[in-house]
Chains A and B, each alone.
Chain A
């Protein structure tokens, strides 16, 4: 799989603040997936981006795929305590996924 670097490793926010995690690759990605893992849980698929410049929204979550298909971001607007968890970007070609190290989001009420 294609290596992906994810930043930041941790992010503390006050409830209601916005949050963004970034995923970068030195090579062009065929696609990028995002997963969420709640504390004590397992990763759960959120979305896949395939097209250059693609933007997808899921309620307060906005996912972007860069024009060069080398970077992606996940933005959460007005965080809630239910957003707590670790968010992973995953590159995958030929059905062999490579996970980024994840960004752990901590939301303070």
Chain B
């Protein structure tokens, strides 16, 4: 079984809709991250959480919110989706001093 899972894997939605992307991990890591990937722009950090009670904005948090329901679960919400939020979204975890990031398989989101 995969250590970091993301649901859904693909989603097509319309402008203005509320969308939630979910991430679960079985690695027992405290640190969790949400990124978006756009062609040619690398991965940009949206939000990160160092434990259940700690939530921090990343580089591009506008238009997004998150919830850390448990150590193993970190959800990303788009309250009112817009077309420029069309992207590939990755969740990642980290639990070592090295801060090696372990990524989920990604969610491809299309906002029409």
Select from chain B the residue with minimum beta-carbon distance to A88.
B42
State how many angstroms separate the Cβ of A100 from the closest Cβ of chain B.
6
Alpha-carbon separation in the docked complex, A35 to B103 (Å): 11
Q: State whether B104 touches A97 (Cβ < 8 A).
A: no
B34 interface contact, C-beta 8 A: no
Contact partner, A101, options B40, B58, B99, B100, Cβ 8 Å: B40
Q: Which size bracket describes the interface of B in this complex?
A: 20 to 34
Q: State whether B94 touches A48 (Cβ < 8 A).
A: no
Alpha-carbon separation in the docked complex, A42 to B89 (Å): 10
Known A92-B99, A95-B31, A95-B50; contact A101-B105, beta-carbon cutoff 8 A: no
Q: State whether B48 touches A96 (Cβ < 8 A).
A: yes
How many chain A residues have a CB neighbour from B under 8 Å?
22
Q: Is the interface of A mostly helix, strand, loop or mixed?
A: strand
State how many angstroms separate the Cβ of B39 from the closest Cβ of chain A.
10
Q: State whether A35 touches B42 (Cβ < 8 A).
A: no
A85 interface contact, C-beta 8 A: no
Cβ contacts under 8 Å, A6 to chain B: 42
Alpha-carbon separation in the docked complex, A39 to B106 (Å): 12
Alpha-carbon separation in the docked complex, A88 to B31 (Å): 21
Cβ contacts under 8 Å, B98 to chain A: 48
Contact partner, B42, options A41, A92, A96, A99, Cβ 8 Å: A99
Contact partner, B104, options A9, A33, A42, A90, Cβ 8 Å: A42
B43 interface contact, C-beta 8 A: yes
Residues of A that sit less than 8 Å from B by CB: 1, 6, 9, 33, 35, 41-45, 48, 88, 90, 92, 95-102
**Listed A/B pairs (20) with beta-carbon separation below 8 Å:** A1-B45, A33-B99, A33-B101, A42-B105, A43-B101, A44-B103, A88-B42, A90-B101, A95-B94, A95-B99, A96-B48, A97-B33, A97-B99, A97-B101, A98-B45, A98-B59, A99-B44, A101-B41, A101-B42, A102-B42
Q: Which 5 residue pairs of A and B lie closest in terms of their CB atoms, listed nearest first? A: A42-B103, A101-B42, A99-B42, A99-B43, A45-B100
